[in-house]
Amino acid sequence: MKTNHYRDKISQDCPKCENRVLAIRINGFYAGSRDRIFLWECPLCGDVWKKAKPRLKVEA
């Protein structure tokens, strides 16, 4: 089992407040679906966004 706890928080540019933040990763599912979704939350302004273009190489 691979652990990647250190990747739970990755420095990203918040699309809302545009600060460089340690975004909090959110793993979830769409309601009524099994489709998984990955979201990021800004610890400063609380904005949530989808991971569109990861700046860092994230393991597949």
Binding residues for Zn ion, rule: CB under 5 A, are 14, 16-17, 42, 44-45, 47
Q: How far is the CB of 42 from Zn ion (least distance, A)?
A: 3
Q: What is the distance between the terminal CA atoms of the chain, rounded to a whole angstrom?
A: 15
Q: Which residue lies nearer to Zn ion by CB, 11 or 29?
A: 11
Q: How far is the CB of 58 from Zn ion (least distance, A)?
A: 20
| CB-based burial, 40-60: b 16+ in 10 Å, e otherwise | bbbeeeeeeeebeeeeeeeee
Q: How far is the CB of 18 from Zn ion (least distance, A)?
A: 7
